Amino acid sequence: MNARQMINRYLDRWLQLTQLESQAIERSDWPELTDLQTAKAALQRPLRASLDQWKARNPGADDAEGGEPFFRKIVDRLLALETQNGDLLAARKQAALERKRMVDQAARNLRMVRESYAGNLENGWQVYS
């Protein structure tokens, strides 16, 4: 397999992983998201090596479509999906922070209610007479 074919193969795999990341974020499946990001990190080195190999064998080579590198379309799509995933992840994080804020407020309210009915039990003992 030549360098161009390898680059296409790695970029296709990256695209698949990025699409799976979208699904994991939507499901809030954080362990799966971590696994997918690890898999993408493992693709970086061989992808870089293939790109370097292709550039060494094809200095200044572009495809016939407007002078753009042959992989430009898939890279643009990947960037759009990565941006979309980042936005979705930011929205999930904001929603989680809002839920945490509401839970913290509910806990404070419960403490206040408990203290108003039970009073302050400094040492945990009550005297009954």
pLDDT digit string (tens) for 64-105?
A: 444 456 788 888 999 999 999 999 999 999 999 999 999 999
Contact between 30 and 7 under an 8 Å Cβ cutoff? The reply is no
| Cβ neighbours of residue 6 closer than 8 Å, sequence gap 6 or more | 46, 50, 53
* Domain ranges across the chain: 3-107
pTM: 0.72
Each residue of 15-50: pLDDT tens digit? 999 999 999 999 999 999 999 999 999 999 999 999
